[in-house]
Amino acid sequence: MDKKYYNELNQRIQASGKSWLAGETSISLLPEFQRRLHLGYIPEEGEWTDKELEEQALLNLKKHLLTDDLPVCVDWRNYKGNNYVTTVKDQGSCGSCVAFGVVATLEARMRVIMQAPVKQSSGILPLLSEAQLFFCGGGAVGASCGKGWSAEPALKYCQESGLAPDNCFPYQPKDQSCILPGDWEQKITKVGRFHKINDPTAMKQWLSEKGPLVTRFNVYDDFYSYKKGVYHRVSQKLEGGHCISCIGYDEHQKAWICKNSWGKAWGIDGFFLIGYGECGIDASMWAVDSFSEFYPLYPGILLRDNFKDFGQVPVAGTLTTSPDIIPYGKEVINNPEKELKEKWFADCGKDLLANVGNYIYMRAFNLNTIEEDVKFHLYYSPASLLMYPGKWKDNALKTSSGQAYAEAKGVNQGEIVVASDSFCWKPAIIKDDHYCLVGRVETASHPNPIPELEQIPDFAKFISENPGFAWRNVSVVSKDIPDYSITLDYDQGKTTESMYFVITCLNCARGASVELTCGSTLPKPTINIPKRKIDSSDFVIGVESKIPAEFTGKLIFNYWKEKAKAIEEWQIRISAFYLSEQNNTLHSCYAIPIEGSKGPKKGILIGDYTIKSSDIKK
């Protein structure tokens, strides 16, 4: 191929109304037989032929819908600011594209499931062996550099045998015997489930949430010269089938974003865009649902010790900075499940405040192949260099609803889970010292009991092999301390009802502040009246919440004098109103006006607590 060929090819592209650029590439320079060896997709019996593939993709063009819940563009090289796509590799002049397309998808999908972007997990999560997949899995059924293979049996091999890291069987672009080290089965990553997708909208749905897909398409000879833009063929010369990894889509350009296996010198640093319906690209794609084994990770619920902790055993990095134990002071997170999931890569913790109720949240991650029900436990201890369990096992904290643990049910592999309730703690100041919080998760598959340990070797083993425990040092500070604080018990009873909680300040000094909080996430919305300055002598503020049946919890009321002018006698009343009209009960006749309310105007007063100025003076 010479300059004249590329010029004529670009003229044909322009004449067709397309906008991609052709030119000299690392593949177009090769002899014809070597170019074809860079392909290698051979449909298995019963699979669409090359012709049928293109016919199906053209039929699928009518099904390309972008629903409101799908983003306009998805690219897993930059998904919410993180890259989950591993480096571009080179299959060379060997028809092993299936191994490279499948492995590229597995490497990305496992990083997506484990919330482990490439940069952060570098040196922890291995690259997988294309050589094992092709020369062991494919070789056993007749695949070779000259014959190629297909996607479905390759994925089945990954499901049944699993893949070792690439350093167990390094790839070379020539036929090789299947030779694996003796311990390879202790180092495998194994697919749990996979399935085929035949609808392009479903493909986009998967790509928008779960990661790349395996796909195949027909290569025509103009594709070897692809440089950039959205590829649409203008050649009639079919070269053969090819397998790649689809890593996203761009609705503006009506194109799929794909990772090739021809090295970084080809295309857009090894990647390319191809139009919807082109060359059979979206007739069907394969999705990897789950993994049954992750090497070298712990198969259970993970509490991270630090941001380099992905569940590897032994753990790496510091032990006392867990981002999954989240002290939050006296503030309430209104929607902790949403916020703490979105901020998975952020440390949301704050200092704790001395001698007042503080809320502590917990989150975790499921690396197991099965759905898990999780119990969260939290303990505290004055900090020590060696945190033997005997120092903290008897110092268990209770949740904001007074329970011994928080829980979460039905957590699937790859899901971030936030505990259903926060923990509540009123710590004292430790002079010239700090506390350590210890988190523990308990599941049926990994109960993680607290061991009795007295010897360094046993303690070292416990620390190294238990990703279900985590530690976090916390400071307790004397700031923003209220002048008055009281904790009120609340018991909802046996029915779910709508309630209105009100703070009424009577004859109070302007400039003082009040707040009422409950750290439990079970009421919807949370019972949370954040700190507010009193701006009138008769000040009223409230929060409406639907309280579930059997709920029990602690309401914490705080008052600050601030710099308010002293008033001899005043009252603050904390009231609970039953919103009977919303609940359509026969008790609405008992409803009374809620004076000063900017929310509900009537309710049945069923409880209140009064604080007098004389209480503060005490």
**Is the predicted pLDDT of residue 506 greater than 60, yes or no?**
yes
Length of the chain: 618
Residue listed under structure tokens 């400039």? 511
Rounded to 5 degrees, φ, ψ at 62 are -70, -15
Q: Which long-range contacts (CB under 8 A, 24 or more apart) does 272-276 make?
A: 272/226, 272/231, 273/20, 273/229, 273/230, 273/231, 274/217, 274/230, 274/231, 274/232, 275/230, 275/231, 275/232, 276/61, 276/64, 276/200
% of the chain surpassing 90 pLDDT? 83
> Mind listing the pLDDT tens digit for each residue in 448-504?
999 999 899 999 999 888 899 999 999 998 888 898 999 999 999 999 999 999 999
> Mind listing the pLDDT tens digit for each residue in 195-205?
999 999 999 99
Rounded average pLDDT over 104-110:
98
Q: Distance between CA atoms of 405 and 450, rounded to whole angstroms? A: 15
> Mind listing the pLDDT tens digit for each residue in 275-300?
999 999 999 999 999 999 999 999 99
Q: What is the pLDDT of residue 283?
A: 97
Rounded average pLDDT over 534-555:
92
Domains and CATH numbers, the chain: 3-292 (3.90.70.10), 301-477 (2.60.40.10), 484-617 (2.60.40)
Report the C-alpha dihedral over residues 387, 391, 394, 395, rounded to 10 degrees. -70
pLDDT interval class at 66 (50, 70, 90): low
- How many CB atoms neighbour CB 384 within 10 A? 11
**Is the predicted pLDDT of residue 572 greater than 60, yes or no?**
yes
> Mind listing the pLDDT tens digit for each residue in 330-361?
999 989 999 999 999 999 999 999 989 999 99
Least confident among 130-139, 239-248, 311-320, 357-366 = 311-320
Q: What is the pLDDT of residue 616?
A: 72
Stronger pLDDT, 595 or 219, i.e. the higher one? 219
Q: What is the pTM of this model?
A: 0.85
For CA atoms 54, 58, 60, 64, the dihedral sign is positive
pLDDT interval class at 67 (50, 70, 90): confident
What are 389's two structure tokens? 């369990």
End-to-end CA distance of the chain: 94
**Mean pLDDT over the full length of the chain:** 93
Q: What is the pLDDT of residue 583?
A: 65
Q: What is the pLDDT of residue 309?
A: 93
Q: What is the pLDDT of residue 618?
A: 54
> Mind listing the pLDDT tens digit for each residue in 133-180?
999 999 999 999 999 999 999 999 999 999 999 999 999 999 999 999
Least confident among 91-105, 264-278, 571-585 = 571-585
Least confident among 83-92, 238-247, 281-290, 562-571 = 562-571
Q: Distance between CA atoms of 118 and 228, rounded to whole angstroms? A: 25
Tell me the one-letter amino acid at 282: D
> Mind listing the pLDDT tens digit for each residue in 427-448?
988 876 789 999 999 999 999 9
